[in-house]
Chain A
């Protein structure tokens, strides 16, 4: 049973499945590191806060789907660096922010919006919004006065939506330009439509926001144009406009943490419990094994749910609940192993030399079972991850840390499956499976080395 670790590694390197598992695990660790270092934890903790995600499109597909279809869907864009032109005539100054973009997609935008921020003192500035189309038509979408300043050097921050009634009104005024019955209810469609046919007018568009300033201290602090597309980023967005790539990537370190901590702590507890039970024997053994039987016969999921509902849903608590059910099976195996080991001569020798039972258990028996423990730890990781995912799927996950199960919970709540939002369902599930698979492959490879009896199967 005692195998040198170098020898185990030498054997492990020969196992193709074991190495495959190790490579997948390395990939998951890299994903975790990338997630933790590139996506600030603050962004991720705002997962449940809808206000954080308003700049994203709603249920947008991943951007790469455009590579597979002839119809190119508009990509979500935020233009943050407009061309700024300042002019002054007499006392009047104008500041124009020009957004130029190519629109070569086959479908219309979901919506568009302009965010701006201006600082002014006495007279509120005027804002004019123009769009110049590829066919040369210039359409004024909006002309409005900013609200009266409240106090000196007042900063006004606002957003103009394509669905604002002012924009719809200006669109109504140009409907006669179209050869077909167009309507004003969807400015993002009409403004981007061909005049003769009901299709997208492709080409270069320029949206200009011109501010008329009446005080020389007034300033336009910034603006950005948001084109609400139908595809977004690596994994798209969900109903609440959240970037699924962030959730799925940040889910990796959390799943690894839950899986590894639950399985390693359970296995160590089970191992020590089993060794003590087997080594002490007699009454101690009887009592400990009966207690083990009781926990073994508990229906895990109903009790896990009860614990989460009544005590709490903190991630550390959930790890604790899973450990309560995790140590039982290994304790039985460890007990029978320690029954064998305790009759070996070197244990008897140690006993004769007067070593304490604690010392014998931790110094002589425990290390013997460690290689086996590693195999069991790896094999029990997937169960921990799947169980946590199941709890989260029922809405009992830690609300401050979105896991893959929680993403799927939201998907289920919003009926993603029956609405065909596959990009919301597939990636988290694949990640759960890949993570489980990596540990199963590593675990079975390790197990066939430390448990030579299993090899021929």
Chain B
């Protein structure tokens, strides 16, 4: 199969996944959404009538008032399209088209730091912070992992190699957020170096905000690096060891090329495609995992927003976030596939 067909297939697959995720999200939150909207119409209509004394005096009895109220509620509901259930093809289709074209609507409760309640504003404000934290962490982890992994592979069986492997197994056994709690205990309670909560206390508009944000980012960043680099080094080590057993490396050695150069230039280069794929997957995975890590540190990114939205059941925000997260996730898988295909001419796709 050619690379073009492969890309086409992948894109089709992505579109299906995206469609399916949005559909599933709407199916899951649909009934609750209808109830919330209907109740809010009822509340606002009741309030309006109660405040309008002139109107109140025109009713002869309670029955007439009730029928007037019911009528008004029905009209309002119809205006919003609530006369049909959420699963009617018309409404479901309309909502899906809206979401897929990034019209994410207004939030119920949550607001952006600048006071907007447009879901897209809220998410756009948070997205760079999540990317900032997790991309920095991934870059640092990758650099340490590449160097340490290649070094361990060159000294396979040595104490450093064993230590790296052991550290990898142990560090990946602990949940990241638990290590986060320990780090808060160590650096916010025992040694009061960093703040326990990562949300800066000064306003976003303050020019010092960015420095405050970076200072507050240190503890989550250190935690993500500590928990991540061991597993990374282990993956790189295994790829490189696999390649060191190949014949062409043997040839390079026989040619008299220094061992350092063999490892860091030839072996590492050939291990690149699977490593790059793992980096892309690791990044997308960590953005999904951000929901928990950000909640531990109170980092004001998308993950924390997701958690807050679920706590108050702010459905538009939940739906919008799920859509954007899926999009980011799929984009990184897609890029990983693309890079793999470009780097490795042997790629066989099924």
Contact = CB atoms under 8 A, between A and B. Distances in A.
Interface of A: 289-290, 293-294, 297-303, 305-307, 309-311, 382, 386, 389-390, 393-395, 408, 411-412, 415-420, 422, 425-426, 428-429, 432-434, 436-437, 440, 456-457
Contacts of B119: none
A316 to B, nearest CB: 18
B322 A425 contact: no
A298 B284 CA distance: 11
A217 B291 CA distance: 65
Contact of A429 (B170, B175, B242, B350): B175
A297 B28 contact: no
Contact of A302 (B32, B288, B295, B313): B288
B277 to A, nearest CB: 14
A22 B131 CA distance: 41
A390 B292 contact: yes
A429 B181 contact: yes
A307 B245 CA distance: 46
Given A293-B13, A394-B307, A432-B174, A307 B28 contact: yes
Contacts of A389: 175
Contact of A299 (B29, B179, B325): B325
A419 B325 CA distance: 33
Nearest to A335: B350
Interface string B86-103: 000000000000000000
Contact of B291 (A301, A309, A426, A456): A301
A425 B181 contact: yes
Contacts of B326: 298-299, 302
A411 B177 CA distance: 12
B335 interface: no
B104 interface: no
B181 A408 contact: yes
Interface string B181-212: 11011001110000010000000000000000
A420 B292 contact: no
Chain A to chain B: the 8 pairs with minimum beta-carbon distance, closest first? A418-B196, A417-B184, A429-B178, A433-B173, A436-B173, A310-B28, A420-B189, A297-B17
Nearest to B196: A418
Interface stretch (B19-27, B107-115, B132-140, B255-263): B19-27
Given A305-B310, A390-B175, A394-B295, A418 B21 contact: no
B318 interface: yes
Contacts, number: 131
Interface of B: 13-14, 16-17, 20-21, 24-25, 28-29, 32, 169-170, 173-175, 177-179, 181-182, 184-185, 188-190, 196, 238, 241-242, 245, 288-289, 291-292, 295-296, 306-307, 310-311, 313, 318, 321-322, 325-326, 329-330, 333, 350
A422 B185 contact: yes
B28 A306 contact: yes
A386 B175 contact: yes
A433 B170 contact: yes
Given A301-B291, A417-B189, A418-B196, A306 B178 contact: no
B182 A429 contact: yes
A411 B245 CA distance: 49
B13 A433 contact: no
A306 B196 contact: no
18 contacts: A293-B13, A294-B17, A301-B288, A301-B289, A301-B292, A302-B306, A305-B310, A306-B24, A306-B322, A389-B175, A393-B177, A394-B307, A416-B181, A417-B184, A417-B189, A418-B184, A418-B196, A426-B182
A309 B288 contact: no
Contact of B322 (A303, A415, A426, A440): A303
Contact of B185 (A290, A303, A425, A457): A425
Nearest to B186: A417
B75 to A, nearest CB: 30
- Counting chain A CB atoms within 10 Å of each CB, the highest count among B177, B181, B241, B245 belongs to B181
A432 B181 CA distance: 14
B288 A382 contact: no
B24 A310 contact: no
- Counting chain B CB atoms within 10 Å of each CB, the highest count among A306, A389, A429 belongs to A306
A392 to B, nearest CB: 10
Nearest to B189: A420
Nearest to A301: B288
- Counting chain A CB atoms within 10 Å of each CB, the highest count among B177, B190, B238 belongs to B177
Contacts of A416: 181, 185
Contact of A394 (B29, B170, B245, B292): B292
A306 B169 CA distance: 31
B225 to A, nearest CB: 19
- Counting chain A CB atoms within 10 Å of each CB, the highest count among B20, B241, B292 belongs to B292
Contact of B13 (A290, A386, A420): A290
Contacts of A456: 245
A206 to B, nearest CB: 40
Given A301-B292, A418-B185, A429-B182, 10 more contacts: A302-B326, A303-B24, A303-B322, A408-B178, A417-B185, A418-B184, A419-B189, A420-B190, A437-B169, A440-B169
A412 B17 contact: no
Contacts of B17: 293-294, 297-298
Contacts of B174: 429, 432-433
A228 B157 CA distance: 54
B29 A425 contact: no
A299 B307 contact: no
Contacts of B322: 299, 302-303, 306
A277 B173 CA distance: 33
Nearest to A418: B196
Contacts of A433: 170, 173-174
Contacts of A310: 28-29, 32
A437 B321 CA distance: 34
A408 B292 CA distance: 12
